A and B are shown apart, each in its own frame.
Chain A
Amino acid sequence: MSDATVFIIDDDQAVARSLRWLIETVQLKVETFTSAQDFLDHYDADKPGCLVLDVRMPGMSGLELQERLTARRSYHPPIIFITGHGDVQMAVRAVQAGAFDFVEKPFNDQDLLDRIQKAITHDAGQRGKEEQRSQLKALFASLTPREREVLDHVVEGMSNKGIANALGLSAKTVEVHRAKVMEKLHARSLSDLVKMAMQNQAA
């Protein structure tokens, strides 16, 4: 978790610098951006961490940035919105649209740091799952089309004989394909295999 970065996006440079000074007390890396566009142009999606984002900014607002990141359909780190006086409604909208959390100015330092830690933990968890998903995808991608067909039928609960009939193969051949699938997917049992297939479908 020590390699997590807090991405601060705030057009007010003084506020951005002060957040950096505060957040660095908990040994987190900090990167600051002066606008939503600046962030989109320079941000590295592979870096774990979280975003701390001012709702109101000239140009692209914080909410718009969130929309843009969501529209990319790839994973983006959790967003903590900082809202000013009387912006709570906007913050609620942000959370409904998928923001991780929000803090209202003026905020308590511990409160903000706690939320940042939570967001980073959440991000790590999400990245872990994401990692698993992509590994699983890679494993499934190693199957031949025939093996894939056999697997689909196995998952549907058909017997080797049934599969052999359906595909016009000998039971012996189906047996060989099935063993190969188990081996390629590192599955130890039939239930393992079914679970993995369902996870892969969900991803």
Chain B
Amino acid sequence: MWLGAVALGGFLAVGLIAFVYVLLRLREEQQRVREKEAEHQGMLDRLQENENRLRAIIESEPECVKLQAADGTVLEINPAGLALVGAERPEDIIGRKIFTVVAPEYRDYYRENMRRVFEGESVVYEFKSITLKGRTAWMESHAVPLRDARGNIYALLGITRDITEHKWAEEQARRHQTELARVARLSTMGEMATGIAHELNQPLSAIANFARGCLRRLRGGEVACADLVVPLEEICQQAERAGEVMRHVRDFVRKRETRMTAVDINRVVRSAVKLTELESRQQYAHVSLHLAPEQPRVWADSIMIEQVICNLLRNSVEAMAEARSPHREVKVKTSRRDDETVEIEVSDTGPGIDGALIDQVFDQFFTTKPDGVGMGLSISRSIVESHGGHLRAESRAGCGTTFRFTLRAIGRTLATNERRYSLHH
């Protein structure tokens, strides 16, 4: 009996110990879970904190920050962005395509830039926007790709700002320039009128002579029809020549925006020489051309550059006439300076410019002519500079004056391309 009681007691004790042990393990386990949870919560908190901080930065960012999907859907946008696109509430733009606020003529360009970002490039682009409120604005965007943990690009992060005012100022400056150039062209119109009259008189005289020659022969009755073909062809040609003169005049006078095209500079030089031919002849000045063959084309507005060359030619001719120079020659030279640059040079055998004055010749209203306005060289320099070139004067008193300007060449020669190629490989 006693032995039985001892056995029971032992059993109970073991059971108790085991129970306590299990209990203790359980509590340990619970504690561990609780700790894990706390740790997890901490991480979540920290993540939340980070996100809040980022969000606060983005929300308070004065420039538009937005996320876009590859198809142009706006995923997120900050308050500055909402204001920029003219949205009252986030849902006005979030979930919609960004193209709703891009001017139609810029949509393709915008798409092209987006495509580049989703291919991994960082890009900067300007575009015209029509906001949800209908305002037209110029925007500049810096866009970079956003990647997930595996490195896949899932969104475009764009920072955009309104550059309308800046653009407007730029536009104003350019308009002003265009206007100045037009005024300058118009002021030379008077001088040109005589030139145009002469240019038209030549073909008209020829037409009259050919036509009268035909009539006289027809009235005399001793002419075969076939003999009249050549003079009649001449008449047609001369009528076209007169038309060409008129086209030139129209081009010259028309108020126009800058039109940059690939230009053969030698052609522009010849055209300018032709335009000023009469003035040169009147002042007994000989104009000689030294044009480099096989010039690369330059990126320019041909009418404006023609205007610059006309200006330089007129200045030279007038200076030589004014000084009664015995030998009056103007040389117009084109040459290749290097891969990127073509140089145009107009030099004369005139009196030259005093060293003290050479720096002033480009100033507005500076003139040495009795009835000059002093705009020609100032405008010429602006035109050349708007083409990314430089116009410079060089002179020695008594030894003539040389004006040089440069223009950017487009397209390099094959030889240069090859050299560049071999440098990289």
Q: Is the CB of A22 within 8 A of B209?
A: yes
CB distance from A132 to the nearest CB of B (A): 37
In this assembly, does A201 line the interface, its C-beta being within 8 Å of a C-beta of chain B? no
Q: Is the CB of B213 within 8 A of A22?
A: yes
Residues of B near A12 (CB, < 8 A) are: 202, 206
In this assembly, does B201 line the interface, its C-beta being within 8 Å of a C-beta of chain A? yes
In this assembly, does A160 line the interface, its C-beta being within 8 Å of a C-beta of chain B? no
Instruction: Please pick, from A14, A21, A59, A85, the residue contacting B194 in the complex, using a CB distance under 8 A.
Output: A85
Interface size class on chain A is: 20 to 34
* A85 vs B205: C-alpha distance when bound (angstroms): 12
Instruction: Please pick, from A18, A61, A85, the residue contacting B210 in the complex, using a CB distance under 8 A.
Output: A18
Nearest B residue to A24 via CB reads B213
In this assembly, does A15 line the interface, its C-beta being within 8 Å of a C-beta of chain B? yes
Residues of A near B213 (CB, < 8 A) are: 18, 21-22, 24-25, 109
In this assembly, does B216 line the interface, its C-beta being within 8 Å of a C-beta of chain A? yes
Number of A-B contacts (CB under 8 A): 74
Q: Is the CB of B202 within 8 A of A15?
A: yes
CB distance from B195 to the nearest CB of A (A): 10
Residues of B near A22 (CB, < 8 A) are: 209-210, 212-213, 216
Residues of A near B277 (CB, < 8 A) are: 58
Residues of B near A86 (CB, < 8 A) are: 194, 197
Identify which of residues 12-35 in chain A touch chain B, using a CB-to-CB cut-off of 8 Å. Answer: 12, 14-15, 17-19, 21-22, 24-25
Residues of A near B280 (CB, < 8 A) are: 58
In this assembly, does A177 line the interface, its C-beta being within 8 Å of a C-beta of chain B? no
Give the most central of A18, A25, A85, A86: most B CB within 10 Å: A18
* A19 vs B234: C-alpha distance when bound (angstroms): 12
CB distance from B134 to the nearest CB of A (A): 56
Residues of A near B206 (CB, < 8 A) are: 12, 14-15, 17-18
Q: Which residues on A are within 8 Å of B, measured CB to CB? A: 12, 14-15, 17-19, 21-22, 24-25, 56-59, 61, 84-86, 105-107, 109
| Given A18-B210, A22-B212, 16 new contacts (CB under 8 A) | A15-B205, A18-B231, A18-B238, A25-B220, A56-B198, A56-B278, A57-B281, A59-B286, A61-B281, A61-B284, A84-B198, A84-B201, A85-B201, A105-B201, A109-B213, A109-B216
Q: List 5 A-B contacts (CB under 8 A).
A: A14-B238, A22-B212, A58-B286, A61-B284, A86-B197
